[in-house]
Structure formats: C-alpha cells, structure tokens
Structure 1
C-alpha cells in the first residue's frame, strides 16, 4: 500500500515537472501573414535565384540566403560580389580580390514576411514608420517611391545596391557607378537601372504583364514585391513540433524537449528576449557578442567597430545593441551572432550563460570563415583592449540561469522549432531562371564541407539533412514544375492549418 502511494506520488511529481509553462506564446495563425498572389510568388522565385539583379550579373539573393543552407550561407561572414560558389564552397573568382568580407552575418529569412516583423537588419535601420514615405524608414537617399507589400519587400531593395554585396564596384557597371554617387531614386537612379535591366528580358516582361498589366513599366517596387511574395510564401515556418504542440498536439515534444521548453520559458529566462510566436521581441539588446571582421566603419578611428543600433538612433544607450533574432529553424542557421562569431548552438548558449567572460575568452577559431586574403584582419576589434572593454561595458545582463547539464535540454527544445515543410520548400530551387543566366549550383552533400577548424565542432545539421536526402549535382533541390492551381491548393491547406481547421 505504502509502495503504491509512493509510486503514485512520484508519477505526479514527474508529471508536474513536465507541465507546460503558463507563458507560452500564441500559435501561429493565418492573419500573421499577408495574402500572397501565387503568380507573383512564382515570379519572385526566379528573381530570387537570378543574378540579373546584380550589377555584374554574377551573384543572386540566394547566394547568401540559400534554402539548402537554412536560408543563410553557413558562414560567419560572407564573400559577396567577386565570389563564386555557395556557402563553405564559395571562393574568389579568377583574378578577383575583395576589400573585406561582408561585415555582418547573413540573417536567415524564416517568417520574415510575417506581419509580426516590423524591423529588418541586425541594427533595425529599416523599419515601419508612419511618418516616413510609404510608411517605411529607409537608409539615407533611399526613400521608397511607391508602397510595398511589407518591410521584407523594402529590405530587398538594399543588397542589390550595395557595392560589396551585389552592385559591384563603381568602375565595373552602370548600377555601381550610380551607387557610388548615392543616386538611387528617380528615372536616372540605380533602382531604375536595375528595373530596366529586368524589363529588358522578354520572359520577365511577359511575367510582369500578368501582375501589373502590359502597359505599365516595371518599377523597382514591382521587383521588390515579387521577391517578398516568394520569400513570404516559401520561407513561412509554422509547422514545427512546437507549433503542433501549441495547437494542442501534446505528444509532439519529447521529454527532453519539454524540459528545455520549461527552462526556456521559465528559470533560464530565454523568453524575456526571445518572446512571442517566433521567439523574438523584435527589440535590441547588448549581450557582448564578439566583434570580428571588417566592422561597419561607424567610428572614424575604429573602422573595425560595429556599434549596432546606435548607428541608427545616435543614442549612446543603444551602443552595441543588436536585434533579437527569431529562433525558428535555428539549429540549421549557424553561425550565430551579428558577426557569426559562434559556429555552434552549444557555444552561443554558453556565451549567454556568462557573456563577459565568454567575450574576453573568445578566439577567432570559433568562427567559420573562408580562407581568403582581405585588406583587413578579422581580429582587429578583438585585438583592441579598449574596444573589447566598450563592448563588455554595454552588456545589459549577467547571464542566463542555465547549467552545463541543462544545455542538451535547451538544444532539444530548439530542435523542436524546426519545420520540415519549410525546410523541404514549397516552390523549391528552380532548374533555371527567366534571364537564362547561370545559377549558383547546389553541390552533392559530399562536396560541401566547411573549412577545417582547429578544434572539434558540431556538424552543421543542414549538411546532415542533405546527406540523408541527397540533392542532384545540378538543377533543383525539389522539382519546381508545380502548376499555379496546385500552389493555390497548397497555400489553402497551409492557411486552413493555421486557422486550426
């Protein structure tokens, strides 16, 4: 009798220990996303993978945001214009030299088209603002000329006019020359030059006829809206085990993931910043992430510095603050941090446990960088004791309450944020693009390897998935010959799922 009582009590205690926290977010719903025109999304798919948008026609949006690399590129800091290849395999083109790496980590695109996202970029330099033209705050000299679908559409206009990312150098092409002069807007601006280049491709002109009409010239915002439609549709991630758990399917999480969820929304305090349906408060925090790479040249005598949000607001209280990233599919989007300083989830969790000590102990071999020569050392900020002290002084918390033996539970919960439908893709990678230009080729898994690291690293789980589900050496990861009618059906099924029907 006594043994039965004790056994029952232990079961009750165990059950109580896995009880759901009372501060879980609301499940994703259809009204968290704009309605998407499928034809527009299919047009955007071609534009996303097409180097036609680049000044030298040699790099696409997908080069740094490829779906086979978690909608990023698997690197701490990217090689932009002048490179060849994808992800860890990317290298400099013949005779090319890059002044510097792209100064910030390429952010993942999961759910960025949701109406819950109002800011873009690590420093939030693009955000909704009712007092700005078309309701969006843009960087200097780049005010929107027409309304766009969402902030993601506005964001798409900036990399294509960045010299290091897609535009090229001022003496290489017409777009880059206009960018050098800070001439973006108007009929003779860089945006109009890009739009005219796209419109000059008959297949693109015909595709835009269906959306804007045959007599309407293609405007840069038409291109932006098509890109945003594709990204919103393709990278919507709302069917992870955690999503299904929030919708009432209580068997979706393992005991270890449940333990991690309790920590995340409880004692560890992760949800203080990683709040809401997509695990971000869309705000900015200084957590002492190490600064590597060329920096953003925010400070004249320290061009290697990156002061984050302060560069936008000019408020010293915002120094070294960066936007809280969403954690959807986070296990597939390494490296982590605004400069990609940490290559593994374990490492970045440990940084959160003791940010000051972690910052001061950081070494560059924890990053994943291409072996290329640039004009700037990647460790200039790390080698400056005063800059390191400034970053440390800005840290706004002492660390999360997590022990070493709790890290596996947190990672198990973060793995439960992976959406297999989003990872497979809805439209997928096209076999070709409408311009006919060559696309970045997806290599067989065995040929895609990260640069050798001086210390053991957790394998990139995106590569593990590709190894288990091999992709062809060329062509699409997933067949893209889906009819518009089938896509409408798929979209309705997803919407119905979000509505709980």
Structure 2
C-alpha cells in the first residue's frame, strides 16, 4: 500500500508530512460549510424527486440512497431507464431499456461539505480554483452558471446532463434534447420543469429570499439546494476512531494493531491522510478494468481524460475512508466486493490483478450487455498499459495484518451514520414515486 514510486519527491514529502499529523486529525461541525437549513430541506425534496431527470424516472437518490450508505451497492450502476433500487435494480425493457451501464461506481457522499474538499468525481473533473471556493473548473467551462454556493453545487449539475445517468436521449424527451444541443440549455429545461410545478414555489420562496415567484427559480437555486442537503446530511465524525482521538478511548486490540500498520509500515496514510482520510490526489493503483469505460466503449484512462496529460493515465481520486465499511463495492468501478479484497489489492496490485475474476464484480445481469462487460480484459495492450502506469509498490502483509487493517477501517464508521437527521422523504412536490 506504499504509494511511492513514480510520484515526485515533493509529493512524497508532502504525504509524509501529512502522515505525521494524521493521527491527531479529526473534525467538528465548524469544519463544514454552513449551509442554510431551509435550503437543505428543499434540497432533500429535490434529491429524491425524479422531476430532475429527462424521462422523470430516476433521481439523485436512486444511485445515492440512504438505505445503501449514500451509494447504490453495485459496481456499475443502472441509470436512466432502469427500474428498482440497488442490487435489485433491473435494466428496464422495450424502447426505454438502458443502452449501457454507468461507467464508474457511484461515489459516496460522506463529508463532501467539508471546507477542505477541493475536487470531486473520480477523475477530478470538477475542481475549486480559488481560495474562497467560489470559482470552479468543470467540463461546462464558461457555460457553468454563476452564483453556485460550493463545489458540491457545481458537481450536482453534471449527473443531470448525462444521458445515461439522468437526462435520457434527445429522441425521448425535451430535456435530453436540450442537453444534446448545449449543456446550459439542458439546465434551463430542468429548471423550467421545476418552475412549472406549482407545489415547489413556496419551498423555494422559503429557502431563497430573492425568489418572489416561480419565474425566479433557476438552475442555480436548484443546485445550491441540492448542495445544502448533501453537505449537511452526510456529515460524519463520531466514529470510534474519533472518540479514540478526542477522549483517548482505546480501540479494540485488532483495530489498534491495524491503526499502527495503517499509519506505519503498511503506508496507507501516505495518501489516506488528514481528517478526510484522503490527500485528494490522483493515483494509478491498477484496479481491474471492466464495463463500458468512458473511451472507445471500454477504456477508462482516469484523470488523463480531464487533464490531457499522459502522466495522469489511469489515475483516480483517492477516496475518503470515513464510513468506508458502508459503501462497498470498492475501487473507481467497484471491482472489489469487500474491504479485505481492496486491502489485499493495494498491498500487491499485480498479484491481485492476476487473481481477479469477473464474478467479483457486482453487476446486475443485463443480457444484452454481458458480452461487452469484460471485453476490455482481452485487450492485452490495454492491460499492459494499466500495469505500466502503476504508482504502487508491493508491501508484504500477512492475512492477520489484512484483518487488522480491516478492523481499523471499521472504526471509521460513524455511530450515527445509519440514522441521519433528515433521511428520505415519503413524498416530493412533483408527486412522482420516491425510490
């Protein structure tokens, strides 16, 4: 798990410095953006309302559900056109059935409202670019609307614009057609949907003083409300590890051994450091490739797709490890079903790749996609490129060591993580079914 080779000396030095303080890092309410509670209440409704999707058949909550730790519990999700929830979600049928899986695992939402969060998505394609956190680099470039309250608001705009995730295709609905024409036209179409739902007007007026009538509702208010909900709802810093740090309460013996390994010779904390347990950097760790990818129908080159820099090939954002036990499967595409599998992979990526089998992926069966699901694995050139770009070096861990590290990771689960303050609403203003 030592992420050392091929990283610059300066990055390695920064990681070591961060590691030295990681044992003392926890967080408190003051470390989070102070979102407006009224906007968060509105955001809860929008988060679970399928009105934001082109065909009005999927919501943010479908793939980031409260009952599934803020994720969908599968390796690669079934998006727009599917039916049901989590591992039981099916791909739909007829003309509206899905054409492909979502190419990456649904990322967890924990602590994304922390003031230190600077980059989002597995490839970091949404990034804060100023010290105050009000300017962002995104795929929308100059078409990103002004007035977004946080990086979370900027991020919330993009699942809406994806035909596979929420928008649908142009021939199916006017929202999908508007997004195909131009991304900001799509956002305007979504906002128009909400404006034309009378039941939403009082909620927006309550949350945003400048909204006097329905015509004042824009995609900015929608995104800001979603950000307020996500940023306040998924806060978690009451784990046994936090109690260990703040009150000196000992960890169980196996978790204590795992903690020492994690911050010591296993090298995990070189990248999983600080209160978020993430350096928010990008590393190539050789997670097995499968699924539709994002290029050529099978490849996923990670951070390089965003930056264009060959040095970023196959690099993905370091995930936070808080509540990690609740958010499997693991890896940017959910390749590993258990924490133990993921730890073993990080200790020996080449060996893990050789041993990995397709049945380890949690993929709801889709008959017309199964031939393509693992096609990339037969591309020997691609597999060689993946291995050639590894940032990792092998670390010798015994089965007992792996068990101890796994036990430590379980102490990062918040005591209140499964009883969040707002939860899932029973109904939403549009009247559409809530997943």
> TM-score over 0.5 for the alignment?
yes
Residue 153 of structure 2: aligned partner: 153
Give the Cα separation in 2 of the matches to 1:143 and 1:418.
Answer: 39
1:93 aligns with 2:86: no
SS of the residue 1:149 aligns to: coil
Give the Cα separation in 2 of the matches to 1:141 and 1:358.
Answer: 39
Give the Cα separation in 2 of the matches to 1:384 and 1:67.
Answer: 38
Q: 1:137, 1:143 within 8 Å by CA — same for their partners in 2?
A: no
Which one of the candidate residues 386, 394, 412 is aligned to 2:389?
394
Which one of the candidate residues 196, 199, 204 is aligned to 1:200?
196
Give the Cα separation in 1 of the matches to 2:217 and 2:135.
Answer: 22
Residue 33 of structure 1: aligned partner: 32
Residue 305 of structure 2: aligned partner: 311
CA drift of 1:31 comes to 3.0
Residue 433 of structure 2: aligned partner: 438
- Is the alpha carbon distance of 1:160 and 1:402 closer, same or farther for their aligned partners in structure 2, counting shifts above 3 Å? same
Residue 259 of structure 1: aligned partner: 257
CA drift of 1:307 comes to 0.5
Give the Cα separation in 2 of the matches to 1:132 and 1:209.
Answer: 27
For 1:286-297, list aligned pairs within 5 A. Answer: 286-297=284-295
SS of the residue 1:127 aligns to: strand
Which one of the candidate residues 310, 322, 326 is aligned to 2:320?
326
Deviations 1:250-303 (A, max 9, x none): 225212111111111111110001011011000000010111100101xxxx43
CA drift of 1:310 comes to 0.7
CA drift of 1:318 comes to 0.6
SS of the residue 1:68 aligns to: helix
Give the Cα separation in 2 of the matches to 1:143 and 1:405.
Answer: 52
Q: 2:239, 2:414 within 8 Å by CA — same for their partners in 1?
A: yes
CA drift of 1:140 comes to 3.8
Residue 211 of structure 1: aligned partner: 207
Which deviates further from its counterpart, 425-434 or 26-35? 26-35
Give the Cα separation in 1 of the matches to 2:138 and 2:129.
Answer: 9
Residue 62 of structure 2: aligned partner: 63
Q: 1:304, 1:381 within 8 Å by CA — same for their partners in 2?
A: yes
Using CA pairs below 8 Å that are at least 6 residues apart, which structure has the higher relative contact order? 2
Q: 1:160, 1:167 within 8 Å by CA — same for their partners in 2?
A: yes
Residue 125 of structure 2: aligned partner: 125
SS of the residue 2:255 aligns to: helix
SS of the residue 1:341 aligns to: coil
Q: 1:133, 1:143 within 8 Å by CA — same for their partners in 2?
A: no
Residue 489 of structure 1: aligned partner: none
Give the Cα separation in 1 of the matches to 2:359 and 2:73.
Answer: 15
1:405 aligns with 2:431: no
For 1:154-173, list aligned pairs within 5 A. Answer: 154-173=154-173
- Is the alpha carbon distance of 1:131 and 1:239 closer, same or farther for their aligned partners in structure 2, counting shifts above 3 Å? closer
Give the Cα separation in 2 of the matches to 1:83 and 1:218.
Answer: 29
Q: 1:46, 1:434 within 8 Å by CA — same for their partners in 2?
A: yes
Give the Cα separation in 2 of the matches to 1:291 and 1:270.
Answer: 22
Give the Cα separation in 2 of the matches to 1:404 and 1:157.
Answer: 43
Residue 230 of structure 1: aligned partner: 229
- Is the alpha carbon distance of 1:23 and 1:134 closer, same or farther for their aligned partners in structure 2, counting shifts above 3 Å? closer
Residue 175 of structure 1: aligned partner: 175
Residue 12 of structure 2: aligned partner: none
Q: 1:359, 1:392 within 8 Å by CA — same for their partners in 2?
A: no
CA drift of 1:25 comes to 4.0
Q: 2:80, 2:167 within 8 Å by CA — same for their partners in 1?
A: yes
How many residue pairs get aligned? The number is 412
1:281 aligns with 2:276: no
- Is the alpha carbon distance of 1:28 and 1:133 closer, same or farther for their aligned partners in structure 2, counting shifts above 3 Å? closer
The gaps in structure 2 that reach 5 residues or longer are: 1-19
Residue 110 of structure 1: aligned partner: 110
SS of the residue 2:249 aligns to: helix
Residue 419 of structure 2: aligned partner: 424
Q: 2:134, 2:150 within 8 Å by CA — same for their partners in 1?
A: no
- Is the alpha carbon distance of 1:195 and 1:93 closer, same or farther for their aligned partners in structure 2, counting shifts above 3 Å? same
SS of the residue 1:377 aligns to: helix
Which one of the candidate residues 344, 356, 367 is aligned to 1:362?
356
CA drift of 1:114 comes to 1.1
Structure 1 vs Structure 2 CA RMSD: 1.9
CA drift of 1:184 comes to 2.0
SS of the residue 2:226 aligns to: helix
Larger radius of gyration: 1
Deviations 1:128-168 (A, max 9, x none): 11399951001045632212221111100000111000001
Residue 377 of structure 2: aligned partner: 382
TM-score (norm 2): 0.91
CA drift of 1:404 comes to 1.5
The gaps in structure 1 that reach 5 residues or longer are: 1-20, 441-501
Q: 1:46, 1:430 within 8 Å by CA — same for their partners in 2?
A: yes
